[in-house]
Chain A
Amino acid sequence: GAVVSQHPSRVICKSGTSVKIECRSLDFQATTMFWYRQFPKQSLMLMATSNEGSKATYEQGVEKDKFLINHASLTLSTLTVTSAHPEDSSFYICSASREGYGYTFGSGTRLTVV
């Protein structure tokens, strides 16, 4: 089946620094990748949708200058949290999609900003 790899699984960073999270589709070419954020005991909230080679579409309320998304190839998308603050601490999950493959999720990245 389709496999999506997300890295790192956990990261702790200092307030004010930037963190990059990678999402790779390992055995298929994803036409679209999605980034979600999940706070404790809550559901997944879509942050942005990205198509390879084009700018990401951000959901209302998500700061595009803070959460930089790059989808440079059909197998790789990155999310960079810039100038991180403690309130950015959360569980970030990516998903990759292609017609016929459905939506496959990565294993998530636990970001802690101290």
Chain B
Amino acid sequence: GQQLNQSPQSMFIQEGEDVSMNCTSSSIFNTWLWYKQEPGEGPVLLIALYKAGELTSNGRLTAQFGITRKDSFLNISASIPSDVGIYFCAGLPRQLTFGSGTQLTVLP
């Protein structure tokens, strides 16, 4: 079945720093989604990508759909304490498959 490898598994950064995380797939995806999950809550959609090469921003967040359609990255600029959480990539086509998550900790 489809597998998503997400890295890094965890990150500890200083407030104000930029963050980058990525996902790679063993197969081609036609949609990439990035979610954030806070403790005890369901995932909340941050960015959706639908075309190879697409670069989309949502405030301080920027995500790109890789040209090969097998990868995607998410960047967070100028991190703030409320960015803390677990970030998941997810992809389609057949069903929504989630990556293993990146636990982000922002130190003041």
Q: Which residues of A contact B (CB under 8 A)?
A: 4, 6, 9, 34, 41-46, 49, 91, 93, 95, 102-108, 110
Contact = CB atoms under 8 A, between A and B. Distances in A.
A27 to B, nearest CB: 15
B41 A107 contact: yes
Contacts, number: 46
Nearest to A95: B96
Interface of B: 33, 35, 40-45, 48, 88, 90, 95-101, 103
Contacts of A108: 40-42
A43 B43 contact: no
Nearest to A9: B40
A108 to B, nearest CB: 5
B24 to A, nearest CB: 15
A49 B45 contact: no
B48 A106 contact: no
A106 B88 contact: no
Contacts of B95: 34, 46, 49
Nearest to B1: A60
A102 B43 CA distance: 13
B35 to A, nearest CB: 8
Contact of B43 (A6, A9, A41, A105): A105
A105 B42 contact: yes
B96 A34 contact: yes
Contacts of B88: 43-44
B42 A43 contact: no
Contacts of B48: 102
6 contacts: A41-B103, A43-B101, A44-B98, A46-B95, A95-B96, A103-B33
